[in-house]
Structure formats: C-alpha cells, structure tokens
Amino acid sequence: MKTVFLGPPKSGFSLWSSPRENLGKQFAHKRVPPRQLARNDIFGIALSSNSTISTFKFNQPQKQISFNVTGPSAIISYCNITIPKTLLKDNPWTIIINTLPITNYTKTENNTHVSLYFTYVHSGINQILIQGTWVVPEFPSTLLLSIAFAMLVVTLFNRKFLKN
C-alpha cells in the first residue's frame, strides 16, 4: 500500500522555518486519505497557505498534485508546498493556477525534499496544479525484472518439457 498524506515531512526539512509563514492569519494544512498503490511507501507532503485548502489529489499516472484554494476575492495569498523527491520530481516545475502557468515561484530544496513557494490573487475558487516529469513507479523495477525472469523460466520450461 502506498500512502500519500499531507503533513510535516519526515526528514526534518520544514517549510515552516521560512519567514513567509507569518504572512497569513489563517494557517491551513490538511491530512489526505491514504492512496493505495502496489508499493508499501508512505510520502509526506506539507502544504501551508493563508487560503482554505480543499480537494487535494495526487495523480500518479499524470505526475501531478492538485488542490483547490479559496479565500476572499482580490486578496493576495500564498502557498508553500514541500514534496519528497522520492515521490515527484521536475526541473523546472510546472505550476498552473486556473489553467494559467506561472513562472514566478521560489524553489528551495535539500537532498530529500523540494519546497515550492508562490503567490496568487483569489478569484473565488482557485485550482492549483503542480506537474512533475518523474513520479515514483507503482512497481519497483527489481520486482518487474523478477517477474520477467520468472516468466522466461516458465516459458523455457514449458517449451522443453511440453514438446515431449
């Protein structure tokens, strides 16, 4: 089972150490229900914002994280998301707000996590999409190689002994 949840990163890399954390009067964070995949990994994604966060989704096939933010209209808000590099990677990242790509964001990283900070102006519900180019595979490559090898052995065995 693979679990994706929103919460403090496990490695000690904290986006909350940023001076930007005091920008918002409302601090939002949310725990997302576990996502079951074939592997047995748990990934922590930390998200802070002065907006209300909803509809958080991790889409493995699309290599995307998406969520909605809401707040008072015409207010400048911020989002700071920390993503484990073992879950999703990119360089440069693609961040889209309401179908419009943004390029004005700050990326901070260490060996295990990347933190993306960006601002936006509220206009009702804003849809945010963060696109990567690499995502953790659902099956480890060693498992796939083991399965392929086992299938080859079975095929060769069947050919040799079923011909008789």
Higher pLDDT, 147 or 25: 147
Residue range 75-123, pLDDT digits in tens: 999 999 999 898 899 988 999 999 999 999 999 999 999 999 999 999 8
Domain spans in the chain, listed from the N-terminal domain onward: 3-137
Q: In this prediction, what percent of the chain has a pLDDT beyond 70?
A: 63
The secondary structure of the chain as a DSSP string is --EEEES--TTS--GGGSGGGGS-SS-B--PPPP---SS--EEEEEEEESSEEEEEEEETTTTEEEEEEE-STT-EEEEEEEEETTTEE-SS-EEEETTEEE---EEEE-SSEEEEEEEEE--SEEEEEEE-SEE--SS-HHHHHHHHHHHHHHHHHHHHHH--
Residue (of 63, 85, 83) closest to 131 by Cα position:
63
Distance between CA atoms of 57 and 20, rounded to whole angstroms? 25
Paired strand residues for 46: 82
pLDDT per position as a tens digit, 40-75: 567 788 888 889 898 888 888 899 999 999 999 999
pLDDT at 32: 40
Give the model's pLDDT for residue 138.
63
| Average pLDDT of the residues of the chain | 74
The predicted pLDDT at position 44 comes to 80
Question: What pLDDT shows up at residue 109?
Answer: 92
